[in-house]
Structure formats: C-alpha cells, structure tokens
Structure 1
Amino acid sequence: MPRDAKIFIAGHRGMVGSAITRKFEREGYTRLLKRTHRELDLRNQQAVKEFFDLERPEYVVLASAKVGGIMANKTHPAEFLVENLEIQNNVIMQAFRTGVKKFCFLGSSCIYPCKAPQPIKEEYLLTGPLEPTNEGYALAKIAGYKLCLYLSKEYGFPTVSLMPCNLYGTNDNYDPENSHVFPAFIRRFTEAAAKQLPEVTLWGTGAPLREFLHVDDVADAVYYFLQNRNEPEVINIGYGSDLSIRELAEKIAAAAGFTGRLRWDSSRPDGMYRKLMDSTRARSLGWSPKISLDEGIARTVREYLAGDGRRNG
C-alpha cells in the first residue's frame, strides 16, 4: 500500500479502530479517511453510498460494530443482529461497488460453535450451535465474513477476514453496564484499591478460560495481512494461550494494587466455558503477537489510572 493511498478506517474512534489508526499513522500514511458516527451513520445505506462516491477510498478496514458484554448481548440480541448487519452490508457492498483495492473485515471468536474442540481452528466454523448469550452478534459477524468470501469467489473482490480473540487495551469501553470482562476488572479493581475496599464481588464462578490479545497486536495484524494476504478465507488472530477468569482477576487485582478478597457470585452467567483460538495459520503466514499479557495488563492499568485510553469511564 503506497503511503499516499486513501484508507477508510470505519470505526476509527473505537478501541480497535483507533489502534489501527495509530498503527497506520506511525507507518507514515497521510490520507486516512475518518468519520464519526455523527458525521456518517454506517447504518444509513444512502449516506454510506454518498460517502464512497465522494471519497473513493482505495483500502477499507471495517472496525465499526455494535459491541457489548454478556448482559447487553443477552438482553438485546435483535439490536446486535440488525445493527451489525446494516453496518456490514452497507460498507462491504459500497466498497465492492466502487472497486476498493483491498477490504479487511474484522470479526470475533464468538463466530465459532460454543462446544467447538479446543483450540478452535478456522474450519470449525458452522459445525455446531453458537453460544446463546451472544448469538445475535455472532450471526451478524458470520454473515459479514461470508459476504466478503462470496464476493471474493464470485467477482474477485479482494478481501481478508480476521477473527481476533478477546481484545483489551487503549481506548477500551469501561462503562459499568456494557463493558467486557477485561475492562470491567480494570475499573472494579482500580476503584476498589483507591477506596481500600475489603472485598469485590465478581460474576460467575471464575472457572471459564479466555484468551486475551492487546489491541495494538490486532492493529499490527490488520496492517500485516492487508499487505501480505490475498485469500478471502478467515484467519484467526490470537495470543496463543489462555487463562481462567479467576486468574485474570488475580493478575489485574495485583497490578491495580487491590489486596482485598475476591468473591464469586455463581448465580450469574459464566458464558462459554473456553475460547482458545488456534492461530497456527496466522503464524505460518508470518504474523505473531508482540505484547505479553503481563505487560499489557500493566500498561492498561497505568493508562486507566492516568485517565487516558478509556471510553465511557
């Protein structure tokens, strides 16, 4: 990609989109197209068409999505399905119509069956039922990937689809009602440490296993595969190992300086028991993560305490 290429990063203010924007800026790209939700509602088909007709981006990264934690997904599955389908269909089809040189679709590990063998290989997609607590979001992401795949195979539309594991880091969403587990723990434990609370109650049993990747590593993957991958099949982007939610809580509590007791409320849902991605394909193609989990936790705690790198906090 030439440094003066026009690149549209859809969702540039979100955690993933902002990390991708920072990556491209560091690499010397000067014509990044950015639009806030107020400036361009990606759910609006006509508005998206007018944007593509006017700007004619050469490369597109779709990092915009309606996202949320277990409770938000479980409570509003229709909204997660419909809004993500609208965003994806509008951006993908206009990119295809206007002849974009390369399109990057970002999905999620939740596209895989809830009882898939571990670690999860790309070929396990659509081999079993999805995790019920985020089925709406998962169905939308599957549809987005398949649309990219079909356009590639039928018309030669150049796409790459990346499926990251659980992400965390700079510019995460720390809203107490809608955040994911990692930022929720960062907020809970830093506040508990500041107030010197004797105890913090957490949802579930703490037994489920999760894999976490720093958002700067997924930005690096996007940059790498846009330039080094010309096949439309899905690629897993993962850290390579997982840990229990209990272990994660203990690590974040220690980094935040919380020394009180952890209490687990087993009446609350755990979600899918394990989601470890098999990222062998990505590594065989030349990409691997660079930020260790301990380093990422320490960096994220520092950013949160400094008041940087957070949304809805």
Structure 2
Amino acid sequence: MSQVHLQPLRIDPASLGKVAVLFGGTSAEREVSIMSGTGVLQALQSAGVNAFAFDPAERPLEDLRTEGVDRCFIALHGRGGEDGTVQGALELLKIPYTGSGVMASSIAMDKIMTKRIWRFEGLPTPDWRMVSSADECVHALAVLGAPMIVKPAREGSSIGLTKVTDPAQCAAAYAAAAQHDPEVLCEQFIEGEETTCPVLIVEGHAQALPVIRIVAPGGNYDYQNKYFTDEVQYLCPSGLDADEEAEIQRQVVRAFRTLGCRGWARADVMIRQSDRQPFLLEINTSPGMTGHSLVPMSARVAGLSYEQLCVHLLASASLDSTTR
C-alpha cells in the first residue's frame, strides 16, 4: 500500500459551478483557517473555478443559498467548522460540501469519542482518562505514568496541550486545557517517532497517501512549530521500513472508515520506539492547507500538485443524504 501514485482528475472547472471557500470562522484556529482558505481559493481560481471567499464569522450561511452557491470547500478548522455544525447547516441548505458529514465530523472533533470507538473496534490508541479537575489530572498521571499529555477534548493544532512529567505540573496543565474545553483528556505519552498519514477518496475508495515522518526541535511539535517556523523537518518519503509504512497506512484507512469519514482526512500516528507499534492519536477531518500543511506535501509525493488536490477535493463535495 505504501507505493501511491495518483492521476489528476480530468474535469471541466465550469462543471463545478459557483463555489464558496469557507474560511475564517470563530474558533481558536481562525488564523490558520484564513491561511488555509486563502491558499485554496487562489488554487481553485488558478484552475479556472468560479470560487469566492466566504467567512461565516462575517456573514450568515443563508447567504450561500441566496447567492446561488453550488458547492462549498470547507477550509474551516476547529469548532464551528470542523465539528459537524457547519456541515449540518449545509445539509439543511442542500449545498454539497467537502469532507466528512455531520456525524463523522462531530465524532472526529471529539478526541475522547474517537478513542472510544477506535478501542471498541480494536484499533491501537494510547490509554487515556477524561478528567474534570486538577486533582483528577494528578490521579490520571499516577495511573497512566509519566510523561502524560493533557489537552482539550475538542480542539486542534495542539491548542491547550501540555506534556507533564510531575504531579506539580498538573494544575497548570489542566487549567490550560480547560480554558478551551470543559472536557479534558489525559493521554498516555508514546515515546517514539511522530508520523501523520492523509486519506483521500479516490474512485470511491479510501486511499492512504504516503506517510510523513515529523522531526520537531526537541520533539516539540506545538502550534508555533506547526505553522510559524521552519525548524521542523517533514520527511516524505518517510524513510520508514516499507512494511512499517504499509501497516500505518492500513490502520489509518481503518480509522477513517470506522468513524464513517468521507472525502479526505489526516490521522496522526505515534510509533512506539520500544517495539515499533503504531498508535493512532486523532483524526482531522478538515486538515490544514497552509504552506506548512501536510496533506498537500504527501499528495505532491503521490503525484498531485496543490492545485490538483484542491480540485480533486472540491469535485468530491457531497451531502449525507446523497451518499447513503
């Protein structure tokens, strides 16, 4: 599975109709969403698509119907754009959109629900505890062991995330996460290599793209390093053993299907150093499309340019009611 080569879609841009690229929004990831959406908009326009910018923080979604929009490219990240709410509104407006539907978007945004489903289906994910106080966070550290990751259950881009090694750090870590979400996830830290793997629907089937291995300075792949520095190394091809990469791709496709995702997504996977066991961390149903983003990087290795990827994704826009 690790050898992937994709052919660009042969499609008349005019057939895609009038397209709204949704970006901005009101979440903590607004800044990243603006970078993603700006890139997508420019790419679609360069490909000849009749696309325009639409920020749901500034305009009501009802304007999409009154302006005769035929489909939407969702470049929103975080709450209000990636959690099923915008998807539900577009279902009611009957405007096809990119990415997963209402249920899959909602579940994937919630890391705790995602992990419960993956665990039930036998997929490997680090052990965890949901906590509602600093004292419970201390108890989770005693159970899960150090180091431990503390993060909001429903945020992305490493927002509100802390790595703790000592009970004295738990109060501040809990407060940082709870600032963004009342549900806080304490997760066993997997010591090893960090990877990510996109999934793209190709001819109706979920196809894992090449794995990217992430080497961050000091192992600190935080919000700043993700989007605003050039210190992180992204290795694609990953340099992993072919069988190891193929196993990651297989697990990621299973993770995608288990949650009922569609269109595209990107799953983050840690490889435990001690035994090379891969562990699924989370899945992102509206991945970044910035200059530092990983799906375009992987797609490029598989043969699709940024512009071709954007057209491919836009052509896959659909509604829940038309996919069942």
What TM-score, normalized by structure 1, do the two folds share? Answer: 0.36
Compare relative contact order (CA 8 Å, sep 6+) and give the higher one, 1 or 2: 2
Question: Which structure has more strand as a fraction of its residues?
Answer: 2
Question: Which structure has more helix as a fraction of its residues?
Answer: 1
What TM-score, normalized by structure 2, do the two folds share? Answer: 0.35
